Amino acid sequence: MTTRRRLLLFLPLLPFALGACKSLGSMGQKDSEKSLQLTLRAYETTLRWGNPADIYGFLDPELRAAAPAPDTLHNIQVTGYQVTQRPNLVEEERAGLVAEIRYVFKDRQIERRLRDEQLWSYDKEHNTWRRINPIPPFD
């Protein structure tokens, strides 16, 4: 069989082969990594468009009990959230990222920025990620 003939036989199968590779790649992604992406997106959305105090719900329960949300967060309006260092899996069940948060005090309209270095840990039992370091103060 000539090379040309083999190529003609293989070409109709190429789309199926490529589709299978793509499916296998997405199946190989761990559930914890998918869960991390969803959690980080929910955290950002909650902070950016919701009530800033609600991000304390993402904290590890022990940390949340030790550091409750400050009463002053009702005076904060987040104007921007930009990830400056993409999520990085430090270990299989730990991840970190860095974000810049821009916000204003509603009563003063003064814009401030803070660097938020986030550490996250995966809870296998509940299939969820929890923030394991304190939320920086919005001063």
pLDDT digits (tens, 9 = 90+) for 62-120: 999 999 999 999 999 999 999 999 998 888 899 999 999 999 999 998 899 999 999 99
Q: Name the class of domain 30-131.
A: alpha beta
- Residue 32: which pLDDT band, with cuts at 50, 70 and 90? confident
- The average confidence (pLDDT) of the chain is 83
* Token duo for residue 35: 């869960």
pLDDT of residue 109: 87
Q: What is the mean pLDDT of residues 52-59?
A: 96
Q: What is the DSSP letter of 59?
A: B
Per-residue pLDDT for 14 more than 80? Answer: no
Cα separation, 113 vs 100, in Å, equals 7
Q: What is the dihedral of CA 25, 31, 32, 34, to 10 degrees?
A: 70
In DSSP terms, 78 is beta-bridged to: 103
